[in-house]
Amino acid sequence: AQKVTQAQTEISVVEKEDVTLDCVYETRDTTYYLFWYKQPPSGELVFLIRRNSFDEQNEISGRYSWNFQKSTSSFNFTITASQVVDSAVYFCALSERYNNNDMRFGAGTRLTVKP
């Protein structure tokens, strides 16, 4: 079965610092999908990105960037020039091609950005 590990439980940075959130996954499937979600204090999980296993290109969206490396089974997320509004819990998730109803989430990383 698939598994997602977010080893960083909590991270605290000062505003304008860059921060990287780590995500390591395990799957036996050759086709799979990786996701990042943001959960602010309001509780809603906000979708950030989806990446399929055939697309290893890194992606940048404003201050957010994602580094997908199949060789290390990692899908890390970097926030550049962090802001207080980035404070939230961030979840990495994985679903497999033929089991896409069962999306497995990591335990989450709580990011606190201090002014």
Partner 1 sequence: ETGVTQTPRHLVMGMTNKKSLKCEQHLGHNAMYWYKQSAKKPLELMFVYSLEERVENNSVPSRFSPECPNSSHLFLHLHTLQPEDSALYLCASSQLTGTSASDTQYFGPGTRLTVL
In the complex, the residues that contact partner 1 under the rule CB under 8 A are 31-33, 35, 37, 42-47, 50, 52, 91, 95-98, 100-108
Task: Characterize the bridge pairing of strands 109-114 and 88-96.
Answer: antiparallel
Nearer of residues 6 and 87 to partner 1, judged by Cβ: 6
CB of 115 to partner 1, least distance (A): 26
**Closest distance to partner 1 from the beta carbon of 97 (Å):** 5
Structure tokens at 77: 């997320």
Q: What are phi and psi of 94, to 5 degrees?
A: -135, 135
Instruction: Give the other-Cβ count within 10 Å of 113's Cβ.
Output: 20
- Whether 94 and 80 have beta carbons less than 8 Å apart is answered as no
* Cβ distance to partner 1 smaller for residue 20 or 100: 100
Residue 4 or residue 19: which is nearer to partner 1 going by CB?
Answer: 4
